[in-house]
A and B are shown apart, each in its own frame.
Chain A
Amino acid sequence: MELSNNSSKVKMIASGIIPFVFVIIMMAYIFGPGGDLIDLGIPLPEVTIEKVDFVDSEIHATVRNTGPIPVNIVVADVNDRIHPAAVEPDGYLERYETALVRIPFEWNEAEPYTVGITVGDGTRFEKEIESAAPALQPTLDLAVFFAIIGTYVGIIPVMIGLLWLPFIKKISKSKYHFFLALTAGLLLFLAFDSIEEAVDVSNENLAGSFNGILLIATVIVLSFLGLYYSGEKLVQRAKSSKLAKPVAIALMISISIGLHNFGEGLAIGAAVGMGSIAFSTFLIVGFALHNTTEGIAIAAPMSREKVMIGKLAAMGMIAGSPAIFGAWIGGFVYSPFTSVIFLSIGAGAIFQVIVILIKWLRDEGDKNLSSASVVSGFAVGMLVMYLTSILI
């Protein structure tokens, strides 16, 4: 008995390993010596100028080799005019390696520039900057400035939104369902908003080799799964502790809104960093109006509980304060790749909250999601968000 058990175990392990062995043999055959089977054409070099900074009498371009072969950076130009430049640490870039190209150039503020990089085979790559602005130095003043903006955009509007709590507390059950569905509608809009932003950033700044859309999709799903798993754990524990389920849901909503607001902070910081001050003023006003609705989203599930002001304020902070951190990162150490990642995490987090909300609505509303209050709430949520988003 034991013997057959052992041999079946061996068989099982062997059957698990054999396909791998064949994969290795196949790879060895294709790539090994004499394997000129896939000698298909000539690989073309590609570099991506991921970031351009305007500093004192110099233009700095961060260049990444995003092609399949190593490249040499040999010529730098501004507006298609060749300039002597420095490449740090050196011009030879392996795949995905980056270098900083420093081009001495007396640039003028608010003028558009095109920075070009030519590699060893003479291929030129360029990036257009709509309006030159001095790169932000991480000074204390600026940090405070961003903190204030983050407060205006994140914390204050969310807190104002939370003031609807007493109103929501007093309304009937169906109207309450309306507000819960409204919350789901608001959040769904925010998720689309984050995805759109992530796609934009990826298209503008990331090389094709990052597979931008698939990167976004993967991060959204991972973030959704991670938060879904931990969220379920949170709700389970809530049952056995004094933490009520609605509070747990509100907490999850505030965390996911916090992740979203982090992305908004990035957008504002980056806009200021890129010199589009007028644009960022709009962004600030728009986000502020937009984000009051996020307060409702947190308030709605909490309204059937006896709520302490402290708890509510903490949730407001969780939801709102990441805007400050986002603005800092966006303004001082902006990286398109990081932005795409955070925006996608935010979208995944929101999807997770929507699923939880809908589940809850279904349980509360006698397994019925098609009541007038739920449907109209969802629709109004999307519409309100769309209308406030026009302001951005």
Chain B
Amino acid sequence: MKITRSNTMILLVSIIVGVSLVAVFPTFSDAQSEQKTFVTHSGAVVRTSGEVIDPLYTVSTVDFDPDEFLRNFEYGRVSVSETGQTIREYTIVAEDDKIQEISPGVFYNVWTFNGTVPGPTIRATEGDLLRIHFINNGSKEHTMHFHGIHPAGMDGVFEPVGGNGGQFVYEFEAGPVGVHPYHCHVMPLEEHIVHGLYGVFIVDPKEGRAPADEMVMVLNGLDTDFDTENNFYAANTIPFYYQHHPIQINTHELIRVYVVNMVEFDPINNFHLHGNLYKYYPTGTDIVPSFYTDMITMSQTERGIMEFEYEYPGKYLFHAHKVEFSEKGWVGIFLVKENPEINQDIEYGT
């Protein structure tokens, strides 16, 4: 009896041991001994022997530079017509095969105008003639559809431009005054927009605006897993970018931000500024501000101009007060410095 029972037990034990070896066998690869640290949202310092995944604090090597984009305005190749009208010519190339690192480690297929998301910020004065040479180097059909006033044939909707070198020249007078989006208008529209085919079109009034430190912010989202929900949000594409690369501005200096909301899927977006309020000009079409507030809500392609000045130096957040968006990347910091040339006139944006 002893023998037989022990035989059964041996068999049982060996089965159990064998199975647990398979189940428990550590598949963890060799651990690194080097200790790394990172800071959490609440300021705690965490140590790890592994790898830090942190879209906030790692210095990203992303292909697109939001700092460069922020204050960059394209005025085009300028000439004057016989009638004295300013002509601004641009060449815009669409592509749809780029894979870009849009957040550290996250690679996404962006569709671009001139290689970036958003595309270049096109800037003209009201009444200028815009001539945009559009070349589609993508594999799909693309167009450029400008918000604003122009003839039907220049609307970029019923004139799809074929891929692999298709061309079209958009020609119209810049207007009305304000800040407008432009984007591809080929079906399925949502797909063409969320992949990145959009940009900003600024029309300055003939008399100009007051000198200011001017910048462009395109509020956008990235649906990297195509489930019609955005995985990341940002001001100017790269999540959390201006949080770890604060935008430097001066006290007692007028700041003018051209804001365009291009977020898809979510019905609204918003813009909250810390330690200050801004004058808000919806669509930038009026010279009298409609609001003096620190919070505006924007629907798809809603846009406007914000103007403000900081009195006190320091770090001030700006972010979506729809906190889901800010915790997924749409958050930044203004680093306000004491103005060194407080009594001198400085002209920006020219």
B221 CB to closest chain A CB, in angstroms? Answer: 12
Answer whether residue A84 sits at the interface, using C-beta atoms and an 8 A cutoff: yes
Interface size class on chain A is 35 or more
- A 76-117 to B, binary, CB cutoff 8 A, 1 in contact else 0: 110011111111111100101111111010100000000000
Note all chain A residues with C-beta closer than 8 A to B189.
none
Of all chain A residues, which has the CB nearest B50? Answer: A88
Partner of A81, one of B31, B225, B328: B328
Q: Are B4 and A121 in contact (CB under 8 A)?
A: no
Q: Are B51 and A86 in contact (CB under 8 A)?
A: yes
Answer whether residue B275 sits at the interface, using C-beta atoms and an 8 A cutoff: no
CA distance A182 to B15 in the complex (A): 29
Answer whether residue A74 sits at the interface, using C-beta atoms and an 8 A cutoff: yes
A210 CB to closest chain B CB, in angstroms? Answer: 11
CA distance A73 to B51 in the complex (A): 10
- A 291-316 to B, binary, CB cutoff 8 A, 1 in contact else 0: 00000000000000000000000000
Partner of A255, one of B7, B12, B19: B12
Answer whether residue A250 sits at the interface, using C-beta atoms and an 8 A cutoff: no
A50 CB to closest chain B CB, in angstroms? Answer: 11
Q: Are A88 and B55 in contact (CB under 8 A)?
A: no
CA distance A106 to B28 in the complex (A): 27
Of all chain A residues, which has the CB nearest B36? Answer: A86
Q: Are B52 and A86 in contact (CB under 8 A)?
A: yes
Binds B, one of A9-17, A137-145, A171-179, A333-341: A333-341
CA distance A85 to B41 in the complex (A): 10
A118-B224, A230-B7, A338-B20 given; A90·B57 CB < 8 A: no
A126 CB to closest chain B CB, in angstroms? Answer: 11
10 pairs of residues in contact across A and B, judged by CB atoms under 8 Å: A86-B48, A87-B50, A89-B49, A89-B50, A102-B50, A121-B224, A122-B108, A122-B222, A123-B224, A341-B23
Known: A89-B50, A338-B23. 19 other contacts (CB 8 A): A74-B105, A74-B106, A83-B41, A85-B53, A86-B46, A87-B51, A88-B48, A89-B31, A89-B49, A89-B51, A91-B50, A99-B28, A104-B46, A120-B106, A121-B224, A122-B225, A234-B5, A238-B1, A341-B23
Give me the interface of B with A, judged by CB distance under 8 Å.
1, 3-5, 7-8, 11-12, 15-16, 19-20, 22-24, 27-32, 36, 38-42, 44, 46, 48-57, 103-108, 222, 224-225, 231-232, 239, 323-324, 327-329
For the complex of A and B, 8 pairs with smallest distance between CB atoms: A122-B224, A74-B105, A88-B50, A86-B48, A84-B54, A81-B327, A104-B40, A338-B23
